[in-house]
Amino acid sequence: MLRMRICALGMLMLPAFVLSIASTPASAQDKAKLLDPNDSRLFFSFPIQSGGNAFHFKVELGKSGHVSGVSVFHEGGSTPFQVLPKCASIDLPDPATEDWEAYEVSKLLTHADLNFDGFEDLELLTYYIPHLDKKLYCIYLWDTKTGRFRYSNALSELAVNPAPHPENKTITMHEDWQGGLWTESTYRWNGARPELIEQNSLHGDGSLRGNEKCGFDFTCSRLVNEKMVTTLEKRVCSPMEDLPDCPAAASSQHQMLPKASPQR
């Protein structure tokens, strides 16, 4: 559901370089050639463990210029020992072309230790909305038993701007919408699956601003006794308003506020 909602929104907010190409005459569009599949910028190299040998990675492009997956090479190897296909649920709305800057290409593949096992995991970009800095990824976790990467469907379904926090072994996902609305969700690993333990959000209707009508709701939820519990809900008049700290548990006086309804 999350990916379907983001995808539908994203199609209305294409990246700036896509919009600029779409607004130019067909003759100008024809000048934007597809990026060479062997372009040096599509090659990445880094060790997956501190002090280990570097692995080499090549982001693969299909005939249409869209990302199709990533090939993985051992140090000194000329043949990939693993080819990871892109997860099929979402595709970048525009193909990679020669007009892309190096920093744009570099966003296609990133890495981080997402399950806190001491090994780097892969994040293959599947969608990007620059003005919201919203990135969606296919996630591949390193499996020490097999010595290979494996696709994580559970984590990929949640992967909106994932940020790992090794100090407490949690992962934060942050999603922004237009108008200053946002949701931030924090997960911890419960066995092989990420478990939601905290969620804060600012949602509502900006049309209710002014005239002493506040159209936003700031909500905090926490995992308490294995259930997500709303610990705070506060009516907010502006996304720029200072927000209170979220309590760990709901107070005995806490009551749910009625949701703000659009002005009629």
User: What does the pLDDT read at residue 98?
Assistant: 94
Q: Look at residue 43 and give its three-state secondary structure.
A: strand
- Asked whether residue 254 carries a pLDDT value surpassing 60, the answer given is no
**Gyration radius from the chain CA atoms:** 21
| pLDDT of 23 over the 70 cut | no
Q: From CA 43, how far away is CA 71, in angstroms rounded?
A: 10
Residues 85-141 pLDDT 10s = 999 766 677 889 999 999 999 999 999 999 999 999 999 998 888 889 999 999 999
Q: Cα dist. 212→245, 258, 260 in Å?
A: 24, 16, 13
* Whole-prediction pTM: 0.80
**102-139 exposure pattern, b = at least 16 Cβ within 10 A, e = fewer:** eebbeebbbbebbbeeebbbbbbbbbbbeebebbbbbb
Average pLDDT over residues 209-214: 60
| DSSP β-ladder status, 170-176 and 121-129 | unpaired
